[in-house]
A and B are shown apart, each in its own frame.
Chain A
Amino acid sequence: MMTSKGGPGRSEEHVHLIQSWRRLADQLGPLIGDSGFCALFGRACRVVAPEFRWLADTPTCKTRDAQIHALDDMLASVAPGMAQAANTALLQTFAGLLDALIGPALARRLLAAAAGEEKNIQERE
């Protein structure tokens, strides 16, 4: 499970945005690995870049932890409203790419199964 807490001095809304990405990364990481997650994330950034040009500058990382850190920094560098809009577009695009690759049914199942497993582990801990 990812351990980063995000950058200091972030608003509650901002922390919430990053947490949703962390959950997604934690769910998908064991399945597709760091490289799979980072590749999908990078592609999602390129797809939304025409609308949010600054997202195109998000560095491509080797681990999903580093990739979320990079996103954290990028979202913190713009106004909260802009960050919120860009994050929504990015999440939707990411999910759309996953759906296109493995189909919405399997994507839903895998994410739901991973979420359930994560919850079990947390309960055990």
Chain B
Amino acid sequence: MSEKVSLGKLGTGVQGLDVLLGGGLSEFSFNLIAGAPGSGKTTLAHQIMFSLASSERRALFFTVLGEPPLKMLRYQQQYAFFDMDMVGNCVRYVNLADDLRSGDFSGVMARIMKEVENFSPSLVFVDSFRSVAQTARSGNEGVADLQYFIQDLGTRMTSWQATTFLIGEYLHSETEANPIMTVADGMISLAQVHEEDSVVRKIRVVKMRGQAHLAGSHTFRITDDGLRVYPRVLPPLATDRHPGVAIDEDAQRIPMGTPGLDEMLMGGLPQGHSLLVAGPSGAGKTILGTCFLQQGVKMGEKGVAMSFEKGTSRLRNGALARMVQAGDVTIIESRMIDLTIDELLDELNETIDRTGARRVVIDSLSELALYLAPEGRTQLRAVVFRMIASLAKRNITAIVTMGLDDDFTRLRLSQADVAYLTDAIVLMRFGESGGQLRKFLSVVKVRGSGHSHDLREYVIGDTGIEIRPVGTEYEGVVHGLPSSRGTP
């Protein structure tokens, strides 16, 4: 048995944050929550406090010269996590402003220790610690005073076995924060990233001593429930890389609901595969997706449709509307823009888990970018990669559509190299012949499976897409000018 001390981990109660922290906050640690005004520091501190506090683990919240205590209480109680019944017995607020006015750190320390001894807290918060630091005398003497005060506070609180949080309006680069950053065991930095007209909140665990935390900036949102962090991680790898785990080489085939397409796919799309349906406007991509969901409903499967259309198109897609009304398909569509992939993925995964859906249609990736904050727009491929990886991990069979204009000079399969990410591709194209704009489709690839190499003509009728049973007699379709074989 190891004689090393094991660090107790405290779950923060902030969804997603413990993943970044490497399992939670280290017990008795001395932490700094830093960020510009409005970044959510006080809310994060309160959410952690109300999640962790109990009659056995009491919390003392010192307010200093930042947000006036009455205003802080007025606003913080609006959040769902603010439990009025805990105030007084488990959570106590103390104002240090009067003690700080004298500018003497020893007086502040004496007051803190007096309150700590009276209330015996396991959690101590000081908001805002920057206002404490700013009362230090100028020059080297003041810096030394502050350093001593912080070190003394850290030592005393840890000895008291209190997990401590200093909250301050610090930016990472500020030298003023250095003494605190040096002493702190953990540092969580919050920021609002402003790009073009959008703002995306970011959280970063700068340091967390003694545990492997997740580096980098991660998206978070503040709602009526408080903070919600979206860790930027991929789902776990498949288990079949471990010795002895059965390898599924004969995946169940999922019928597509479009006559003729299953035959071209050698019996349907392998379960868990993602299929990119690419083609120009009017080619029938949405119809193909709707039929895929209808087929699932016929088989008793639930579906999810993630729509990035402008909102009214569903009214024209009666088949989809009926499935939604019947509760067989759940639709995800946002009226918000400046979304992050993390939020979209979270909603998609939550909907799949809640409804037990086995089929997903994302219509379409072309419009998805219109809903994303600038950082997502420039990383569409990465966005689609994370979405498809998440669906694959859940063994969801999915259709993703993408608008693609024919230019008839080269065979394009997708925008932003998305074609490399999906397991299968169906390409739809127009071709001119006999005074008509004809439609053709082909299965370009199906990973791990054979498939038809036909280029087949199809028409869109009242019942959906009708694919001709054999390959087209035309040649030159990919150039846009089909001609019958043998035609000079």
Q: Which residues of A contact B (CB under 8 A)?
A: 29-36, 40, 63, 98, 101-103, 105-106, 109-110, 112-113, 116-117, 120-121
**Docked-complex contact B87 and A106, CB < 8 angstroms:** yes
Closest to A103 in B: B77
- Quick one: given A36-B68, A102-B73, A103-B77, are A110 and B98 in contact (CB under 8 Å)? no
**Docked-complex contact B93 and A110, CB < 8 angstroms:** yes
**Docked-complex contact B84 and A106, CB < 8 angstroms:** yes
Query: How far is the CB of B98 from the nearest CB of chain A, in Å?
Result: 5
Closest to A115 in B: B88
Q: How far is the CA of A117 from the CA of B97 in the complex (A)?
A: 20
CB contacts (< 8 Å) of B480 on chain A: these are none
CB contacts (< 8 Å) of A33 on chain B: these are 63, 69, 95, 97-98
**Docked-complex contact A109 and B95, CB < 8 angstroms:** no
Q: How far is the CA of A101 from the CA of B85 in the complex (A)?
A: 18
Query: How far is the CB of A38 from the nearest CB of chain B, in Å?
Result: 11
**B436 interfacial contact with A, CB 8 Å:** no
**Docked-complex contact B118 and A121, CB < 8 angstroms:** yes
Query: How far is the CB of B194 from the nearest CB of chain A, in Å?
Result: 32
Closest to B111 in A: A30
Instruction: State the total of A-B contacts with C-beta under 8 angstroms.
Output: 60
- Quick one: given A106-B77, A121-B118, are A32 and B95 in contact (CB under 8 Å)? yes
CB contacts (< 8 Å) of B85 on chain A: these are 109
CB contacts (< 8 Å) of B77 on chain A: these are 102-103, 106
> Within residues 83 to 110 of chain B, which ones have a CB less than 8 A from any CB in chain A?
84-85, 87-89, 92-95, 97-98
Q: How far is the CA of A92 from the CA of B19 in the complex (A)?
A: 49
**B246 interfacial contact with A, CB 8 Å:** no
> Within residues 43 to 77 of chain B, which ones have a CB less than 8 A from any CB in chain A?
63, 68-71, 73-74, 77
Query: How far is the CB of A32 from the nearest CB of chain B, in Å?
Result: 5
**What 3 pairs between A and B have smallest CB-CB spacing?**
A113-B88, A33-B95, A33-B97
Query: How far is the CB of B152 from the nearest CB of chain A, in Å?
Result: 22
Q: How far is the CA of A50 from the CA of B6 in the complex (A)?
A: 65
CB contacts (< 8 Å) of A110 on chain B: these are 73, 87-88, 93
**Docked-complex contact B69 and A109, CB < 8 angstroms:** no
Query: How far is the CB of B357 from the nearest CB of chain A, in Å?
Result: 42
Query: How far is the CB of A61 from the nearest CB of chain B, in Å?
Result: 13
CB contacts (< 8 Å) of B69 on chain A: these are 31-33, 36
Query: How far is the CB of A118 from the nearest CB of chain B, in Å?
Result: 11
By secondary structure, the A interface counts as helix
**Docked-complex contact B97 and A109, CB < 8 angstroms:** no
CB contacts (< 8 Å) of B97 on chain A: these are 33-35
**Docked-complex contact A105 and B89, CB < 8 angstroms:** no
Query: How far is the CB of B116 from the nearest CB of chain A, in Å?
Result: 13
Closest to A114 in B: B88
**Docked-complex contact A117 and B87, CB < 8 angstroms:** no
15 interchain pairs (CB within 8 A)? A33-B63, A33-B69, A34-B97, A35-B97, A40-B70, A101-B73, A102-B77, A105-B84, A106-B77, A109-B84, A109-B88, A110-B73, A110-B93, A113-B87, A117-B92
Q: How far is the CA of A118 from the CA of B52 in the complex (A)?
A: 26
**Docked-complex contact A113 and B95, CB < 8 angstroms:** no
- Quick one: given A102-B73, A121-B118, are A36 and B95 in contact (CB under 8 Å)? yes
**Docked-complex contact A102 and B74, CB < 8 angstroms:** yes
**Docked-complex contact A101 and B87, CB < 8 angstroms:** no
**Docked-complex contact A30 and B94, CB < 8 angstroms:** yes
CB contacts (< 8 Å) of B71 on chain A: these are 101
**Docked-complex contact B89 and A36, CB < 8 angstroms:** no
- Quick one: given A102-B77, A117-B118, A121-B118, are A32 and B70 in contact (CB under 8 Å)? yes
**Docked-complex contact B118 and A109, CB < 8 angstroms:** no
**Docked-complex contact B84 and A102, CB < 8 angstroms:** no
**Docked-complex contact A109 and B93, CB < 8 angstroms:** no
Query: How far is the CB of B87 from the nearest CB of chain A, in Å?
Result: 5
Q: How far is the CA of A113 from the CA of B77 in the complex (A)?
A: 17
CB contacts (< 8 Å) of B98 on chain A: these are 29, 33-34, 63
Q: How far is the CA of A34 from the CA of B157 in the complex (A)?
A: 26
Query: How far is the CB of B107 from the nearest CB of chain A, in Å?
Result: 14
Q: Which of B70, B94, B118 makes the CB contact (< 8 A) with A101?
A: B70
**Docked-complex contact B94 and A112, CB < 8 angstroms:** no
Q: Which of B68, B88, B89, B95 makes the CB contact (< 8 A) with A30?
A: B95
CB contacts (< 8 Å) of A101 on chain B: these are 70-71, 73-74
CB contacts (< 8 Å) of A103 on chain B: these are 74, 77
Most buried by A among B70, B92, B98: B70
CB contacts (< 8 Å) of A105 on chain B: these are 84
Q: How far is the CA of A32 from the CA of B98 in the complex (A)?
A: 10
Q: How far is the CA of A105 from the CA of B77 in the complex (A)?
A: 11
Query: How far is the CB of A17 from the nearest CB of chain B, in Å?
Result: 24
Q: Which of B74, B89, B94 makes the CB contact (< 8 A) with A31?
A: B94
Q: How far is the CA of A43 from the CA of B95 in the complex (A)?
A: 20
Query: How far is the CB of A37 from the nearest CB of chain B, in Å?
Result: 10
Closest to B100 in A: A33
Further contacts, 14 of them, CB under 8 A, given A31-B93, A34-B98, A35-B97: A30-B95, A33-B63, A33-B98, A36-B95, A101-B70, A101-B71, A101-B73, A102-B70, A102-B77, A106-B73, A106-B87, A109-B84, A110-B93, A117-B92
Closest to A116 in B: B88
Closest to A40 in B: B70
Q: How far is the CA of A98 from the CA of B71 in the complex (A)?
A: 11
**Docked-complex contact B93 and A36, CB < 8 angstroms:** no
